[in-house]
Amino acid sequence: MGSRYIVCSIFLPKTVEFHSDDVEFSTSPYCDNSESALEQSLYENPLSNSVPGSPRKNGDISDKEKSLIDSLRDNVPHSTKNISVSALSSSTATLTDHVFDSVGQTSSPPSESSILHCGSRRRTLIQPAFKDPNLPPSSVAEHGGCTKNTNTSSLFPHLTKPSVKSSDNSSHSFKDKLDCARCVVTDCHSSNGGLRNSVKSAQRHGYLSDVLFVGTPGLSTQALSDSTRSKMENLLKNEANCYPVFVDDDVFVGHYNHFCKQILWPCFHQQISCIPNSITYEEHLWKYFCVLNEAFADRIVKLYKKGDIIWINDYHLFILPMLLRKRLPNAKIGFFLHVSFPTSEIFRCLAFRKALLEGILGSNLIGFQTEEYARHFLQSCSRVLYLEVMSNGVLTDDGFVEVKSMPTGIDCEDLLNKLQTDEVSAWINKLSDRFRDKILLVGRDKLDHVKGVRQKLLAFEKFLCMYPAYRKRVVLFQVAQSTNEENATQSSVYDIVSRINSCFSDLTSQHVPVYFLRQDIDFPQYLALLTVADALVVSSLREGMNLTCHEYIVCQRQRKKPLVLSEFAGSASLLGANAFLVNPWHARGMAEAIYKAITLSPDEAAKMHERQYNLVLHNDGARWAKQVCEAITSAWENNMFHQSTRIPLFKGHSFQSIYQSTKRRFFVLDWEGTISSWGVKGEIVSSNMQQAMHLLSSLCEDPVNDVYVASSQSCAEMETLFYLLPNLGLIAENGCYASQSLLNREERKWFDMTAQVDLSWRGSAKNILTRYACLIPNSFIEDKNVTFIFHFESAEDKDAAIRVAKDCCNAFNDDVSGCHAVPLNGAIICEPIGINKAVATNCLYAMKTSEGVKYDMVFAAGNDRTDECLYNWASSLSKTEPDVLVTTVNVGSRNTAASHLSSSIIGFNKSMEVMYRNN
């Protein structure tokens, strides 16, 4: 039986609509009988200079306006009679008043009412809408209004749950009408369409089988009675495998509309929000964020069965992984961030940065759209949490969290099928006829500050100024999806649209350069628009993955028109040079790119499109969903294998018989922190020198033992330290130099492992370390032949020293190529990339085996992150040489790849003595 997949996102892919045949609008606080946006748009003048969005007063429209409206209204297929195309106004034109969003974009929350006409009988859709509690309440600063002892406080003990009053925000009569209403399961237009379509495609291809969805239903459930809520829950469960999370309105609005959209969304898109301007306000919103994530955790824990794969999606549920990890310690948990991730400089501005990172690190796997976003996340973990990061993940005390880039995709097969429908074909014919003499540029974006609609319009205005021959030939058709709140970007965009149409419109030919639609369009119309476009223009200032351009490429399978794409969109990393990449902040450069796109030769356009199409086809949604789920399982398996709680203790008597039965043994032992304590920093003599030397001497006395000691010390320091043990092999500077064991110390020869490595980075590295060392009193730098060790364990202010060390690691790894910084307890080691203890050990081992030596026992021991490569080398050796008995021991209780643990240096040395002692 296959695994179950619990897919979690803020909105379920399905929701419930409440229909009633006998509801009067005037009696419901949720219903509105005002003129619809579609009906208003029919009276908009396509050549007017009025501010977009201002409704036209009731009255007749001119014949000129009628002709433009009717040019797209007639002969609409029967299934779309109620969503006719309007005047395509430069002001507020719209194609439809119903949003069927199937392409991965989220729209605004459900409107309070929609009117559907079925023959002569009127049926009303009465959807409960969220009521904004006008956060924060006046009592937000009073701690007495908070409810304590929530599960969230165990993870974030400094927080308390905000007071949530289950106020009845609707009349009893409206509740009764909802109880009597007919419930219909339908698509949730607020959900993540890209995720929904990818999972659906993966199920169709057999990649995923038993899938459960967990999320909020996308409408207010506070207005529902218990019986209605239960009926709704059963419907979603039985018809769509959806398990709703119910929260009160103030919790949802405080979480989604305020904390997520006003604080996290700008930050994740490289912008520091000035909202909120009250610390108390932000702290209150953070509590709502925690409460909703806790509600998700409660729901998932009740659903969870052993072996389930929990797949959490997007920033709304950023702390959910750790909440689940606390309650389901052995669960398979993965997290995928669909939006971009900011640089550490931006992320560290968040007040709750540490709690957010700790929350997401409860996952086994964290997925990002691009390598760039994954790198930003790793840098934030290093800088904010002072964790050691690798190129493929983060090392925490509880395990290794894998980090991967896995770009999302679309359901190409389903999209190609929809393109063949009569409805889409009809719209293609109408749009082609309407713009038959025009070069059509198309855009579809949310009207907020990160989608770059303003920058696109400015670039188009620049294009018209630079290329006057195209002023009456090129049209920009911009679909502006609605957002949850009005913003300054909207008024600026409206002004630019009016200015362009005022300057470049032509009354005689009815040419309008910009058709601006202030809401989304029906999906068949959207596909038709992409198909007839001569270029799609994407100008995002920051974006995870723009799936609109993927759909455009599929829709252009026949016409093969080019794509103008912002280099700051995640899709740019996938498509690369196969699109016209632009900087949306550079209006002239973008205008030039538009000109190149519309003047590109058909042969070049066809070649470019073919490469684009193959990339989109190969990186489709089904493969992405399969890849994510497989990566979660793989990361969990690797982590469970290396969990500290499952690693046995190293006990000498258990290995005594193994030691005595083997005939040739290879030992590599770390010096500092493994068989010897550090002693005084900067000095090579340790505090337990006598015990350590006795252990090494005893091992070296046995002629079948080849013993090597690895250290961060230099060659000269190690020769001085082990002067009396010439038959001891040495590895200096963490693998930069190596020496074989010899009988005569005068013959010792060092092998330079960095001979073929560029060490030009040392000058820059020393400057960086020196700059940060000046900020920490009592710190100092050890300058070896190759490596540097930055010691700050003697600093008086430990917290300040750690903060400076975080910045030092981040600056070092960002600015210096060819090397990396490894944070340790009280120190930072800077060493070349590709050179470590494992490389040196493998070289020494290979030299011995090439001389005919055959080992039947390999033993490696260490204590910190620099020794993990040694354990991995030994582990791989057991696979290539199965006859060799391999044992790896880590001194300390941290998570490790070693096969055994030892609690202390003294305990390890005593166990070693027991192992080699001959009873």
The span from the CA of 81 to the CA of 74, in Å, is 9
Going by the DSSP 8-state scheme, the letter that residue 469 receives in this structure is: G
**Spatial strand order in the sheet of 563-566:** 514-517, 474-481, 439-446, 535-538, 563-566, 580-582
Flag whether pLDDT at 559 surpasses 60.
yes
Flag whether pLDDT at 386 surpasses 60.
yes
Flag whether pLDDT at 115 surpasses 90.
no
Q: Which residue has the tokens 């092999």?
A: 729
Going by the DSSP 8-state scheme, the letter that residue 834 receives in this structure is: T
The span from the CA of 180 to the CA of 714, in Å, is 82
The span from the CA of 708 to the CA of 700, in Å, is 9
Residue 825: both structure tokens together: 């307890």
CA diameter of the chain: 110
Flag whether pLDDT at 757 surpasses 70.
yes
Residue 104 CB contacts under 8 Å (≥ 6 apart), including other chains: 192, 193, 194, 195, 197, 408, 410, 547
554 CA to centre of own chain? 25
- How does the average pLDDT of the chain come out, rounded? 81
Model confidence band, residue 435 (pLDDT cutoffs 50, 70, 90):
very high
In the prediction, which pLDDT does 78 show? 33
In the prediction, which pLDDT does 134 show? 55
Is CATH 3.60.15.10 correct for 652-757+834-916?
no
Q: Assess contact for 208 and 6: CB atoms under 8 A.
A: no
Model confidence band, residue 298 (pLDDT cutoffs 50, 70, 90):
very high
The span from the CA of 255 to the CA of 360, in Å, is 17
Q: Which residue has the tokens 């391999």?
A: 886
The span from the CA of 783 to the CA of 446, in Å, is 54
In the prediction, which pLDDT does 746 show? 65
Most confident stretch, 126-140, 509-523, 531-545: 531-545
The span from the CA of 580 to the CA of 586, in Å, is 14
Flag whether pLDDT at 620 surpasses 80.
yes
Three-class secondary structure assignment of 283-349: HHHHHHHHHHHHHHHHHHHHHCCCCCEEEEECHHHCCHHHHHHHHCCCCEEEEECCCCCCCHHHHCC
In the prediction, which pLDDT does 236 show? 94
814 CA to centre of own chain? 20
Flag whether pLDDT at 666 surpasses 90.
yes
Fold type of domain 760-831: Hypothetical Protein Ta0175; Chain: A, domain 2 (3.90.1070)
Flag whether pLDDT at 24 surpasses 80.
no
User: What distances in angstroms separate CA 664 from CA 37, 110, 130, 842, 885, one per listed residue?
Assistant: 85, 74, 74, 17, 11
In the prediction, which pLDDT does 305 show? 94
Which of residues 690 and 433 earns the better pLDDT score?
A: 433
Which of 402-406, 692-696, 820-824 has the least mean pLDDT?
820-824
The span from the CA of 778 to the CA of 651, in Å, is 39
Which of residues 523 and 815 earns the better pLDDT score?
A: 523
Q: Assess contact for 376 and 342: CB atoms under 8 A.
A: yes
Residue 833 CB contacts under 8 Å (≥ 6 apart), including other chains: 818, 819, 820
Provide the residue count of the chain.
919
User: What distances in angstroms separate CA 303 from CA 215, 229, 371, one per listed residue?
Assistant: 13, 18, 33
Q: What is the pLDDT of residues 31-62, one digit of tens each?
A: 333 333 323 332 344 444 333 333 333 333 33
What architecture is the 412-619 domain classified under in CATH? 3-Layer(aba) Sandwich (3.40)
Q: Is the peptide bond before 276 cis (omega within 30 degrees of 0)?
A: yes
Sign of CA dihedral 228, 229, 235, 240: positive
- End-to-end CA, the chain: 53
Flag whether pLDDT at 678 surpasses 60.
no
Q: Which residue has the tokens 């932000």?
A: 282
Flag whether pLDDT at 170 surpasses 50.
no
Q: Kindly tell me the burial class for residue 112, based on how many C-beta atoms sit within 10 Å of its own C-beta (0-12, 13-18, 19 or more).
A: middle
Residue 598: both structure tokens together: 């519309």
Model confidence band, residue 151 (pLDDT cutoffs 50, 70, 90):
very low
Fold type of domain 179-405: Rossmann fold (3.40.50)
Q: What is the pLDDT of residues 439-497, one digit of tens each?
A: 999 999 988 888 999 999 999 999 999 999 999 999 999 998 876 555 667 888 999 99
Q: pLDDT exceeding 70 applies to what percent of the chain?
A: 79
* Nearest Cα residue to 828 out of 768, 876, 870, 888: 768
Which of 86-100, 206-220, 229-243 has the least mean pLDDT?
86-100
* CATH 3.40.50.1000 placement within the chain: 652-757+834-916
Model confidence band, residue 124 (pLDDT cutoffs 50, 70, 90):
low
Which of 16-20, 67-71, 579-583, 903-907 has the least mean pLDDT?
67-71
Amino acid in position 200: K
Flag whether pLDDT at 65 surpasses 60.
no
The span from the CA of 447 to the CA of 301, in Å, is 38
Q: Which residue has the tokens 């030039």?
A: 592
Q: What is the pLDDT of residues 342-365, one digit of tens each?
A: 999 999 999 999 999 999 999 999
Q: Is the peptide bond before 136 cis (omega within 30 degrees of 0)?
A: yes
Q: What is the pLDDT of residues 842-862, one digit of tens each?
A: 999 999 999 999 999 999 999
In the prediction, which pLDDT does 2 show? 65
Which of 663-667, 699-703, 806-810, 873-877 has the least mean pLDDT?
806-810
Going by the DSSP 8-state scheme, the letter that residue 147 receives in this structure is: B
User: What distances in angstroms separate CA 574 from CA 185, 244, 372, 443, 539, one per listed residue?
Assistant: 36, 35, 12, 20, 16
What is the residue-wise DSSP string for 718-768? HHHHTTT-TTSEEEEGGGTEEE---S-GGG--EEETTTTS--THHHHHHHH
In the prediction, which pLDDT does 484 show? 59
Q: What is the pLDDT of residues 885-899, one digit of tens each?
A: 999 999 887 778 888
Residue 497: both structure tokens together: 């649209």
Global model pTM greater than 0.75: no
Q: pLDDT exceeding 90 applies to what percent of the chain?
A: 47
587 CA to centre of own chain? 30
In the prediction, which pLDDT does 121 show? 36
Q: How many helices (H) and strands (E) does the chain have?
A: 31, 31
Flag whether pLDDT at 400 surpasses 90.
no
The span from the CA of 249 to the CA of 218, in Å, is 11
In the prediction, which pLDDT does 177 show? 75
Residue 630 CB contacts under 8 Å (≥ 6 apart), including other chains: none
